Amino acid sequence: MKFGLLITEGPYQHEASDSAYQFAKAALAKGHEILRIFFYSDGVLNSTKLMDPQADDRHIQKQWTELSTSNNIDVIVCVAAAKRRGINDDVIADGFKIGGLGMLTELAIEADRLVEFRA
């Protein structure tokens, strides 16, 4: 099955980002395909390389980068949502790309299932 993921919550406010990450890992382990991961609304905060969690806390941005790089998954950050939150090319982490809502629409068309993770 081909999945698309939509994440609309920030990395540390709710479980949405962690749940999406665990879902993606489990789906890949079962042989499914993740076509694209799209971060929208506060979800774009997952992409900033400025986050600096405590040593004993998970580093969700690095987890997303590693997952996308090792599995060749497009990880897209909504340009409008990112700009509203001060995220631009200077602070976006490796592996993330800035894109528009057209990429989300394309994902919804191409994926067998589009799964949203929100609060």
In the block, tokens 């790309």 appear at: 97
pLDDT at 119 over 90: no
Cα–Cα distance measured from residue 71 to residue 62, given in angstroms and rounded to the nearest whole number: 14
DSSP bridge pairs for 30? none
Q: What average pLDDT does range 2-27 have in this prediction?
A: 96
Per-residue pLDDT reduced to its tens digit, 68-110: 999 999 999 999 999 999 999 999 999 999 999 999 999 999 9
Query: In a 10 Å sphere around its CB, with 0-12 CB exposed, 13-18 middle and 19+ buried, how is residue 118 labelled?
Result: middle
Residue positions annotated with a catalytic role: 78
Region 2-117: CATH code: 3.40.1260.10
